Structure 1
Amino acid sequence: MKFVKPFLLFLIINFSALGIGSLLMAEGPRGSWYLQLEKAPWTPEGWVFGAAWTTIMICFSIYMALLYLKRPTNKVMSLFIIQFIINISWNFLFFNQKLIDVALISIVRLTIIVTAFLITYFKDLKWKSLLITPYVVWLCIATSLNLYISLYN
């Protein structure tokens, strides 16, 4: 029961980030600007993004609830808030403002922060740290997609 409350709270916050990010991306991946970009050959189909982010946010919510119960510190919450803001801002920077290079810097920072969670708190969560690996892997893929677009457009 101790786990359920923080898990639900992180779940709500994480899915709110996805929702806010979607609202901030204007036409997003369906817009003519994005459709006309030269995209990486390994760009997944559109449905993969939704499935990936749903899985990532569920796993990340479990991870954050476990970490918060283990280390309820300002550092943990500060990293989480920074991650939240950067995650949302990428959508705005890339899709809404079409600032591909600035978005690339943003997603690299997000990747560093999420990886910092994995490395910094591995001793605390041990094998449970695997819950954050889908987020790290997906950010590496997303960063490569953003980099490709940055280089070829």
Structure 2
Amino acid sequence: MKQKPLLISLLISLGTGVIAGFLTFTSMEQYQEMYRPPLSPPGWVFPVVWLLLYALMGIAAYRIYMKDPKAKALKLYLIQLAINFLWPIFFFNFGWQLFAAVWLLLLWYLVFVMIKEFAKIDEGAAKLMIPYLIWLTFAAYLNIAIALHR
């Protein structure tokens, strides 16, 4: 294990989440006030889950980087990370819940394709991304329900 590439990979993924969280710091207050469909978790669950998911993303990207630093899969990873970064801004800051739902479906598709690309290089890295895809599926349910309720 090479510590510097792992640290950089974790800083990229976790840093993306921290910056998005900073830019949407009132999001949990907004979440408490909006319609929440059945199965909606309490607000404290989101930062805990996202911390874990960003850590898994960073580890998975590190594994891919160590096997193929120029992999197409890493470009997909960075693209989906940028799409991920923008979602809470669209949803919370701009209040564009319907647009955010469509954006989230785009993110889901990119992550699905990225997992397939990761699997070609490192099956373990691909498996580390599966909880992320599951969470995005759940987030899409929440986002669509909220958007349609408006």
TM over 0.5: yes
Give aligned-pair identity as a percent.
30
Q: Distance in 2 between matches of 1:25 and 1:109?
A: 21
Tell me, in whole angstroms, the C-alpha distance in 1 between the residues paired with 2:63 and 2:5: 8
The whole-number CA distance in structure 2 between the counterparts of 1:14 and 1:128 is: 14
Q: Does 1:143 align with 2:136?
A: no
| 8 Å CA contact 1:25, 1:91 repeated in 2 | yes
**Partner Cα separation in structure 1 for residue 136 and residue 34 of structure 2:** 20
Superposed CA offset, 1:82-104 (max 9, x none) = 11211111111000000011111
Query: 1:45: how far off?
Result: 1.3
User: More deviation in 127-136 or 60-69?
Assistant: 127-136
Task: Name 2:16's counterpart in structure 1.
Answer: 17
Q: Determine helix, strand or coil for the equivalent of 2:35.
A: coil
- Residue equivalent to 1:134: 131
- TM-score normalised by the chain length of structure 2: 0.91
Change (3 A) 1:70 1:30: same
Provide the residue aligned with 1:75 in structure 2.
72
Count of matched residue positions in the alignment of Structure 1 and Structure 2:
150
Aligned amino acid, residue 134 of structure 1: P
Asked if 2 retains the 8 angstrom alpha-carbon contact of 1:68 and 1:76, the reply is: no
Residue ranges of structure 2 left out of the alignment (5+ in a row): none
Hey, what does 2:111 align to over in structure 1?
Answer: 114
Equivalent residues of 1:29, 1:95 under 8 A apart = no
Find runs of 4+ consecutive structure 1 residues off by over 6 angstroms: none
Which amino acid in 2 is paired with 1:146? Answer: N
Flag the structure with more relative contact order, 1 or 2, with Cα contacts below 8 A and sequence separation at least 6: 1
Q: CA deviation at 1:115?
A: 1.3
Note closer, same or farther for the CA distance 1:129–1:42 as it changes in structure 2 (3 Å cut).
Answer: same
Map residues 31-50 of structure 1 onto 2, 5 A cutoff.
31=30, 34-50=31-47
Q: What do residues 107-128 of structure 1 show as CA deviations (whole Å, max 9, x unaligned)?
A: 1111111111111221321244
Cα distance in 1 between the residues matched to 2:133 and 2:145: 18
Distance 1:8 1:48 in 2: 25
C-alpha distance in 1 between matches for 2:103 and 2:60:
23
Whole-Å Cα distance in 2 between the matches of residues 66 and 74 of structure 1? Answer: 11
The root-mean-square deviation of aligned C-alpha atoms, in Å, is 1.6
TM-score (norm 1): 0.89
Q: CA deviation at 1:60?
A: 1.1
